[in-house]
Amino acid sequence: MDFSTRTSTIHLRPVGPQHNSPLSTIIHKHQHPQFKLERMHQMEFESDLARSSEYKSFRSTVPLKQIVVDSEALKVWKLYDAGPRGVRCPLVCLPPVCGTADSFFKQILPLTAHGYRVISVEYPVYWTVPEWCEGFRHLLDLLEIDRAHILGASLGGFLAQKFAEVTFNCPRVASLILCNSFIDTKIFNYADSSSVFWMLPATLLKKMIIGRFPRKLMDSQIAESIDFMVERLERLSQCELASRLTLNCSSDYVQPQKIQVQVTILDVFDESALSQTVKEEMYKCYPTARLAHLKTGGNFPFLARAEEVNIYIQVHLRAHEGSHLSASDSGTPVDR
């Protein structure tokens, strides 16, 4: 995957009066596979998912928390923590580059209704993977979490693997669910220039991310998932975007031999930001992993195909029920 190739073919343009509806509406209105993604900050609308009763119920039920993990109060993690507080090995969700803590709202309420504790996080600015891993370890300590099952999407999946790797001698990861993720950042062909991301304007950084999205006709659920995630992207600062892209593209790779936990690889068969070669490399690195394939789902199947994804998550977590690594506590009422 080469960001430069993608961004050269996507031209962002101001939205005229006739284009004041979300991306999904634009797709269905024009029915053209080579649509142009618009600059969301110039579109005065709220995405369909953000207007949905499910999202509103989530926001009114689960409070957003902020937790400081450093003595200078510079590293503030944002998170939603739902489910039985007595669970010491919850499911922790890590978003992709453009994601925020609410990106997994379609997992939080359904899974907590089944007795699981689910935490979805949004991390502060970190410029290196070791710094991020240290910050995440402090967060788990402050939340009094012994070990965690981690659902990571794209960059979130890569960081989850690196955290499992660096805590190999003192395990903090119970299992991994890797959604459209990767094991080596070289696939983005940006290692040489990632050191200058910190000085690029936010508009260019956003264009790099948007350029990875498919540019053809898609079903409404996938289009709505893109609407929602681009909306999240617009809320991120230049520093947040630059640091995430630096983590995503700086030369680094996972050492799978150090990851001795249950792994489920969740990916899609339709067009996404990752090539089939990247997916096959994941399969080779985790030969004993459970494969959870979705026929369609795009870049964000946890939104576009939430019901199927949630079933796979429950199947994955069920293997640990009744043990000290259980992510649920059926004897404790769901506490949000």
Q: What are the tens digits of pLDDT across the range 229-242?
A: 999 999 999 999 99
Report pLDDT for 25: 35
Q: What are phi and psi of 208, to 5 degrees?
A: -60, -40
Of 136 and 32, which is predicted with more confidence? 136
Lowest mean pLDDT among 23-27, 152-156, 196-200, 287-291: 23-27
- Predicted confidence (pLDDT) per residue in 287-307, tens digit: 999 999 999 999 999 999 999
Report pLDDT for 39: 43
Report pLDDT for 45: 66
Q: Please tell me the distance from the alpha carbon of residue 18 to that of residue 333, in angstroms, as a whole number.
A: 50
Beta-carbon contacts of residue 277 (< 8 Å; ≥ 6 apart): none
Residue 41 half-sphere exposure, CB side, CA atoms within 13 Å?
9
Mean confidence (pLDDT) of the chain: 85
Residue 125 CB: number of other CB atoms within 10 A?
A: 19
Only one residue has tokens 């955290």, namely 163
Lowest mean pLDDT among 169-183, 209-223, 294-308: 209-223
> What's the rounded mean pLDDT across residues 163-185?
95
Report pLDDT for 72: 83
Q: Please tell me the distance from the alpha carbon of residue 29 to that of residue 25, in angstroms, as a whole number.
A: 6
- Predicted confidence (pLDDT) per residue in 71-85, tens digit: 888 899 999 999 999
Q: Please tell me the distance from the alpha carbon of residue 11 to that of residue 333, in angstroms, as a whole number.
A: 51
pTM of the model: 0.84
Of 203 and 28, which is predicted with more confidence? 203
Q: Which two tokens stand for residue 276?
A: 């089939």
* C-alpha torsion 316→321→324→329, nearest 10: 110
- Predicted confidence (pLDDT) per residue in 58-67, tens digit: 999 999 999 9
